Amino acid sequence: MKHINTILSGDCRDVMKSLPDNFVSACITDPPYNYEFIGHKWNDDEIKRRMERVKDSRTLVKNIPYGSGLSGGVRNQRWYKKNRDNILEYQNWCFEWAKELFRISKPGATTLVFNSTRTIAHVQIALENAGFYTRDIIVYRRSSGIPKGINMQQNLEQKGYINSTDWEGWHSCLLNEWEAICVVQKPLQNNYTETLIEYGTGLFFTKKQGGGFQSNILENLKRDKVPDFNIHCTVKPLDLMKKLVEIFVPRVEGSIVIDPFAGSGTTLVAAKEAGIDYIGIELESSYIEIIEKRLNSTTVSLKNHSLF
């Protein structure tokens, strides 16, 4: 079948238009987060541009500068307007690709979208506006970094305030130890049973290895040692993506998982290992080379099987 087990090159908003209605069974994707979004394309050249202009490592998030004046500056009316405009433009951009994703998704198909804790609500709204309805927010608990904000005691000490110790422990942010995964679903065909029989979608696999019911908190997943050829700046752990594929991608004949922001291809690698068909879309050509190299070295460890 055309497009199956391939990586399509281009902007997913355009590429998805070539795919038929009610085609994919699930989507797991990690789109660009809302760091310096306005007026820029999120590609390798743009990342390099931001890296070159960064002056302070504290403005980096996973090696990506915030930029656009949103990480600092005077918190005046102009700053808050710029921040608001940035978020709304990001939300509108999410809506643009979400409406195409909705069209190509089968009834009952589940979509999972990673995002930051600060903007996940806007991603959720964009997906809902496109026609999906929200099912959950998954917490992916990961290793934490250094809080990126103002330590007020140190700030006051540098300014010569004598009572700076009164503000010991006060900071402008919390330690960020988790990422959000928005879980939405295309409306069912009447009910879960009819949707399952007609499309093989609609349900989650909740049986945990060793017993118990699957939680919406994912933690204690090992991080991968990224090979030198993988230059992508935000590679998700393979074990994480394998877990999401296990829970949310139906293991039935004709099941297809799509990743419209394939990046270095971790979703696709996880799908191939599980014996599930996939479609990847990626704008940056250098990342497509990485994906193909990873897929070529991936073997199927779990045969795809029909549950019917």
Whose CA is closest to 138, among 160, 159, 123, 156?
A: 123
DSSP strand pairing (256-259 vs 277-282): parallel
Angle between helix 266-273 and 238-248 (nearest 10): 60
- Of the pLDDT bands very low, low, confident and very high (cuts 50, 70, 90), residue 52 is low
With beta carbons less than 8 A apart as the criterion, state whether 105 and 29 touch.
no
What is the pLDDT at residue 75?
85
Give the predicted TM-score (pTM) of the model. Answer: 0.84
Which residues of the chain form CATH 3.40.50.150? Answer: 6-141+179-296
pLDDT exceeding 70 applies to what percent of the chain?
A: 79
pLDDT exceeding 90 applies to what percent of the chain?
A: 60
d(CA 292, CA 287): 9
d(CA 111, CA 79): 33
For domain 6-141+179-296, the question of CATH label 3.40.50.720 is answered with no
Cross-strand partners of 171 = 151
Is it the case that residue 38 has pLDDT exceeding 80?
no
- Of the pLDDT bands very low, low, confident and very high (cuts 50, 70, 90), residue 35 is low
What is the pLDDT at residue 45?
60
- Of the pLDDT bands very low, low, confident and very high (cuts 50, 70, 90), residue 141 is very high
